[in-house]
Each structure stands twice: as structure tokens, then as C-alpha cells.
Structure 1
Amino acid sequence: MPTAPHPAAAPIGAALGPGLLVVLGLLAAVAPFGIDLYLPAFPAIARELDTSATGVQLTLTGFLVGIMLGQLVFGPLSDRIGRRLPLLIGSVVLILASAAAVLAPNLGVLVAARVLQGLAGAAGMVLGRAIISDLATGAVAARAMSLMMIVSGVAPVVAPLIGGALAAPLGWRGVLAVLFAIALVMLGAVVWGVRETLPADRRAQLSASRRAQGSPMRRLASRQYLGHTIAFAAAFTVMMAYISASPFLYQSMLGANELQYGLLFGANALALVATSAVSARLVTRFGPRTLARIGLGGVAAGSLVMLGAALLAASPWVLAAAVFVVVASLGFVMGNVTALALSAVPGAAGTASALLGALQFGCAAVASPFVSIGGERTALPLAIIMVAASAIALVAFACGRVRPAAAASTNA
């Protein structure tokens, strides 16, 4: 059964204007803020709540688990009832969970609040990708994903700086109060900045198409979707391994203080923003697959340099330089691989985005605790994880290659 024309043919400035991309970027920024903002306050949390570094690490792991579960909830739900209502629900729950985190009397309550924060904050991430998929495909969608990453990429730049600056005068509760304020902003952004991109008539058309042609959910098992989804999750695991180990790498090994840590962390995030901007500019010329291949090569090369430096006990600055290359290369990967994955399941963008995001944060949650298994003075576990994840990303990306006829439409 024919369906209504997809708005992907419209220029990005029409269906996906700058205002909407900024809002979607802000929604996607909830996760990096929730991860990065309070990292400099880890020692203070351990002292006040009388727990160990491993105990504090559970608050980060809990947040990642919450994001993983939340995407599995909000993605399929949005395919059935639309995008806007789940975004509103997620925003309200995020406000309540953020307030609970600020007032947490002990570690158990804090971990529970962080799980709920992650679950609710996942709405902005999974539905931002789905909204772009509703409005565009191919190179247009890849460009939109990369531009959204520029906006959301500002979060890792400013979050450690804000956290480092506020940790001493306000304490860790004051730092977490910033997340409460971000939750309020998220609600306002959804109310005033996001329209419904999957209205009832469009959902009815998709349902009729599924009955006539078979469910597009079968495409979730396709090589194109699985290959690019696994490549995305593995590349993000590289990023999360670095983020989890960054306090040890910069503060313990390089001797940086809290403010210097924020500056070093921010420099890498700025590199990610810059390469995402370059990717958005070049994608209509070279196609998302070519740029993603270049980015994955840079990730693998930087990870191998890091492994060699760790094995040879080279200067920590060599490690820092290798990390810079890895993070910068990811700007060519994340938006393009996401667009390639979602283009394989056009009739179930919410569910496809949810599974992509769940695997993304599930892999990150599993890998993150192992980066410090060798102690605070070695980067070898981090380097091993980064090399292994980058290798998986390369293999999965190669397996996700589609036939030339299909690839032409994907890169269009």
C-alpha cells in the first residue's frame, strides 16, 4: 500500500531547521551532562557518603544501565503513540529523579536516583534520532545527525569545567543540582520546540504498509542494520572507556588538578565538535559510508598507538595525544553510522533507534568498570579495551556493507 511522501526530500533547512536541531542537540546532551558533570566530584561523594571509589563508580554504571533500559522503553512506545508525548513523560520523570539525586541521604538512594535519571534522560537521545529519521534519510539524515552532535558535543566541553568549578564551593550536591536545572530546560525545550513528527495518520499509514508488505521489524535482523549498529556501539564503547578512565589518566598519571582536568577533557570534546562539523559539511559530497570508514581508521590507529605507549611505559603525554586522535576521529563516525543503521529500518525508526542506543550503553556499561582494573597508574586496560572495541567496529562496519544498488540510495 502506498504511503504519504516522506519529508526527506525537503532541504535540511526546511524539515530539519536550525532551531529543531538545536533542541534535539540539547535533548541528546542530557546523557553527556549526566556522565561528565559530576566526575570531578567523585572523591567528595566517596567521603560524604562513606563509600569507596568502586561504590561511587556504581552511580555512573547505574546511569548507563538506566539509559540502556530507557531507550528500550521509549523507542518502541514512540512508534505506537508518537514522539512528543514520550518526550514529555521522560522530561517530567527526569526532573523528579534529579531532585532525588540532589537530596540522596546515602549511596543506595543516589544509585537508584541515577538509574531513574538515565532511564528518563534516554527519551531525549532515542527520540531525537527517531525524529531525524522521520524527517530525512541518506546523506541529509547523516548531515543532521552530525549537526546535532555539534550541539550535544558542547556538553562534554562545558560539563567538566562546570563540575570542576562548582565541586569545591557547592559540593557534589550543588553539582547535581545543575542536572536538575538541565531537566527543567529539557521540559521547556520539548513543550515549545518539538512538534509531532509521527502523527496519527502517518502511524496509520505505516501500520497499513506493515500489514500489506510485512513488518519492517524483520529488517532489524538485516546485515545492514546489525553491522552498522554494532559498529556504532563499539565506537561508543571506545569513547566511554576513555571517559571513565579520564580522571585517572589526567589527574593520577598527568598530575592535573580538577580545573586542568576539565580543560584537557574539554579540548578533546572540542575536537569531536570540530570533526562533526567537517563531517556534516562533507557528507553530501562523499557520502556517510566513506567518512565513517575514515573515522574508524583513525580510531583504530590512535588506539594502537595508545596500546604501544602503555606497553612501553611511554610518557603520559603520548597517551593523551593518542586519545585526542581517537576522540577527534569519532566525529566522522557517530552521526554517519547512526544514519546508515536507521536507514535500514525506515518503518520502525523509534524501535531501531532504541535497540541501537541500548546496545550502545549496554556495551559501555560493561566495559567502563574494567578500565581501572590495573590501578590508577597504568593505561594498559584502557588501551586494550579501546583496541578491541575499535577492531570490532571495523569488522562490523565491513559486514554492514550493502549491495551497490542499495548503497547508492543510502549514500544519496
Structure 2
Amino acid sequence: MTTVEPRVDTAAEAAVGTAARTPTTDGEPDRRQQRRLVLVLGSLIALGPLTIDMYLPALPTISTELRTTDAAVQLTLTGTLAGLALGQLLIGPVSDAVGRKKPLIAGMALHVLASLLCVVAPNVAVLGTLRVLQGLGAAAASVIALAVVRDLFHGSAVARLFSRLMLVMGVAPVLAPTLGGGLLRWTDWRGVFVALMIFGLALIAVTVFGLQESLPPEHRRRDGVAGTLRVYGSLLRDRTYVGLALVAGLAMAALFAYVSGSSFVFQDQYGLDEQVFAVIFGAGAVGLIGATQLNVRLLRRYTPFQILRGALISGTVLGFGLLAVAATGFGGLAGVLVLLWAVLATVGLAMPNAPALAMARHGKAAGTAAALLGAVQFGVGALAAPLVGVVGTGSTAMAVVMAGGMLAAVVALLLLTRAEELTDIDSAAPAAPTH
């Protein structure tokens, strides 16, 4: 089993600024410093969900205005997810070599430029290409935020911090469609990309003035491309890490089946307008957020592996219940919503624990490990959007992909991971050293 390596607490102090001069006895930042760090990193992580979700209420309108099909418009969502996956593979190793802050600023600058160009996109092909670039830029925020957490925290503390980040990040999918729907009252879909550009500029300012470097020069990798390939090779040879990455990706696929299909299900099938859809979508995100915060309490009694296993099994059962309701029409819209929100809650329990367990195994290459993990998550998630479009645009198609994703996640967890290894990680993770 790969051991968990401690990080020095001087990095923890630096990452949260000058206020972090008095770490707690275990060498990690105190609660006030943690809250500040969570707000900064959560804002960065929110860039991805906002980029993905904010234009969802406008998908049917974009399809009509650009004279294309629903499936083609859904591919612009796939392009964003593909950009997020590819960008993490590139940015993660770079951040291990040069530090976290510079690649983060460069990635967000790319996101701002791509958002500006989306405003003037003349057709769906150009829009899809620019969405890939948006995803590449947003990837920097996603992967580096995870790497910073792993730089500073250890063991179950990583899962707790991920849960706190999910709370901040969860505000983004709640607000994104609502903000998008509100913007569409005053502007067209292109105005959504203006808002994303402004948010990207604000995050660059937050990074420059509110986030210090968490990876000291003495801990940076200096073995170049060949070393990066060796690290990726070692990650891919770690069966448990690969299994956990697949679990995270398949859970993400279930989530993005909902993200990509919900606007067509609720607006076309059930006749809801853009504003009501935004409220319905936000309610689902509330369940997701609530589950991530319940996870913090559950971690006091159960290991991350136990919670992950229970969440995936429950999500599979509920997913097939959703499929039955969607296929038969039993319970109407209310029946679909209740089971849909329940499935999303199980995804919310799985999302913090699978990455935390995977990242705990590779502390010395946190950026590269986070990059491959994120690439698998968003790469598998990217497959969900066109798959929903291929199966159909109704609630049954969405339910098929969601239930299938949860079932595949259970299979990956049972076949590729060993409970005793993951329990060892939970119990043996060391605290940061004190000075």
C-alpha cells in the first residue's frame, strides 16, 4: 500500500496568509483559518459548476437561435467537461513543478478570454470549441484547489475539508441556473457568458490577493516530462486509486446526466418555464449540498469507505426506482422529483469520500494525483451528456444513465478496491508535524 506522507505546517500557514501564524497543536490551520481557506478555495472550485450550469436554462433557446439540434447543443456541455478533463491532466503536473499560484492565474485568464469570445460565437461549432477552452481554464481552479487541500491536510481531515468545499461549491449549482434564468429576463444567452467573464476576473483578483503559495520550493517536482509520465504510470498501476477514480467519475456521470438532461425534461416534457426550471434545479442542488454536510457528521462515526459504499448502494437502488417511475409515469412530476433528489443526495455523500480516499495515497504528487482524478471524473462525466441525448430527451433517458452510472460505480468499488486497504488509510494517516 502507498503510504501517506506528511506535509510541513509552514505551507499551511502561508496558504491562509499572515493570519495563520498560530497553527493548532496538530500543525494544521485553526478553525478560523480553515473557514477562510474554504471560502477562497470554494470560490475557485465554483468556477467549474458555474461554467457548466449557468447557461442550462438557455439550451432550448440556443438550439433554436443557432438552428441546430438539441443533441448538438448538449455537445457544447460535453466540450466543457472534456476541457475540464484535459486541462487537469496538463495543469496538475505543472503545479507540482512550479507551484500552485501561477498556473491557477494563467488558467483563469484563459477562461476569461474564452468567455468573451463565446459572446460573439456565430454557430454551435464555434461555441462548442470555445466551451472546450472555457473548460481548460476552469480546470486550473478545480485541480489546484484539491491539491492545496492535500498539501495542507491529511487522512479523514481531507474528507472533512472536501465536504466543506462541497458546501461552498454547492452554492454554484444552486445559483447558476437561477442566475442564468434571471439574466435571461434582461438579456439573451450571450449575456450569460459576459457574467462568466466578470466572475473569472473577480477570481483572478481573489487569487492574487487572497491566496498564498501552499507548495514550498523544496517540495516541488523537478524531474520534467519524463518524471511526470512516471508519476502517471505509478498512479495507473495503483489498482485502488484507479478504482476510486472510476467511482468518482461514474458518480459524476450520474450527476451530469441530470445536469445535461434536466432542462429538456422539465421544460419540454413537463412544460415548465426557464425560471421555474431554475428553482427546480436549485432544489436538487440543495439536496446534494445537504448530503455533503451530513457527511461531515457521519465521518465522526464511520470511515470514508463505509460511507462511500453505503451511498453508492443506496443510490443504485434509488436510481432504478427513478427509472421505474419515469418509465411508467407513476406519481407524475412529483414522483420523479422525489426520487431524483434522493439519488442526488447519495451522489453528495459519495463525492467527498472517493476523492479523499484516492488522494490520501499520493501526497508527494498531490497535483498530478488530483489532475488524473479530476480528468477521470470530468471525462467520464462528459460521456453522460451525449449518452442522454442518444437515449432520448425525456425523464426515462435521464434515469437510465443515472441508474447505470450508480450501478457501475458500485461494481468498480467492489471489484477494484479492497476495504482493508482503505480502512488502513483512514486510521494510519498521520497528522502534520509540529514545530
TM-score normalised by the chain length of structure 1: 0.91
The letter of the residue matching 2:322 is: M
Go from structure 1 to structure 2 and tell me whether the alpha carbon gap of 1:308 and 1:343 turns closer, same or farther (over 3 Å shift).
same
- SS, match of residue 212 in structure 2: coil
The one-letter code of the counterpart of 1:34 is T
1:95 lines up with 2:112 in the alignment: yes
The offset of 1:304, in angstroms, is: 1.3
The 2-side partners of 1:218 and 1:167 are apart by: 47
* 2:265 maps to which of 244, 249, 256: 249
- Structure 1 match to 2:82: 65
1:350 matched residue in structure 2: 367
- Out of 155-164 and 45-54, give the one that drifted further: 45-54
Is it true that 1:263 corresponds to 2:279 in the alignment? yes
Aligned to 1:151: 168
Judged with a 3 Å threshold, the aligned counterparts in structure 2 of structure 1 residues 185 and 129 are, in CA distance, closer, same or farther, namely: same
378-387 vs 354-363, which moves further: 378-387
> Is the 1:143–1:281 Cα contact (8 Å) retained in structure 2?
no
Within a 5 Å distance, the mapping from 1:11-410 to structure 2 comes to 11=28, 13=30, 17-203=34-220, 218-314=234-330, 315-376=332-393, 378-398=394-414, 399-401=416-418, 402-403=420-421, 405-409=424-428
Q: CA deviation at 1:12?
A: 5.1
Deviates more, 1:75-84 or 1:366-375: 366-375
Asked whether the equivalents of residues 298 and 325 of structure 1 are also in contact (C-alpha less than 8 Å), the reply is: no
Q: Which amino acid is the alignment partner of residue 93 of structure 2?
A: P
| C-alpha RMSD over aligned residues | 2.4
Amino acid at match of 1:190: T
Q: Which amino acid aligns with 2:427?
A: A
How far the C-alpha of 1:182 sits from its partner, in A, is: 1.2
Residue-by-residue CA offset, 1:66-109 (whole Å, 9 max, x unaligned): 11111111011111111111001111111111111112233332
How far off is 1:215 after superposition? Answer: 6.2
Unaligned ranges ≥5, structure 1: none
Structure 2 CA distance for partners of 1:192 and 1:355, relative to 1, 3 Å = same
* Cα contact 1:288–1:411 (8 A) shared by 2: no
**2:252 counterpart SS class:** helix
* Aligned residue identity for 2:190: R
Q: Deviations over 1:293-323 (max 9, x none)?
A: 2322331122010122233332232222111
Q: Could you tell me how far 1:64 is from its partner in structure 2?
A: 1.2
- Whole-angstrom CA distance in 1 between matches of 2:31 and 2:235: 29
- CA 1:249–1:121: 2 relative to 1, 3 Å: same
Q: Secondary structure at the match of 1:104?
A: coil
* Paired amino acid for 1:152: M
The structure-2 alpha-carbon separation of the partners of 1:31 and 1:97, relative to structure 1 and needing over 3 Å to count, comes to same
Matching residue's letter, 2:371: A
Question: How many angstroms apart in 1 are the aligned matches of 2:181 and 2:240?
Answer: 42
**Any conservation in 1 of the 2:178–2:278 contact (CA below 8 Å)?**
yes
After TM superposition, give the deviation of residue 196 of structure 1 in Å.
1.0
8 Å CA contact 2:155–2:425 kept in 1: the answer is no
Which ranges in structure 2 are unaligned for 5 or more consecutive residues?
Answer: 13-25
**2:28–2:152 Cα contact (<8 Å) kept:** no
Q: Amino acid of the residue matched to residue 326 of structure 2?
A: A
Report if the CA contact (8 A) 1:216-1:347 is conserved: no
CA contact (8 A) 2:71 2:389 kept: no
Question: What count of residue pairs does the alignment treat as equivalent?
Answer: 404
The answer to whether the Cα contact below 8 Å between 2:248 and 2:355 also exists between their aligned partners in 1 is yes
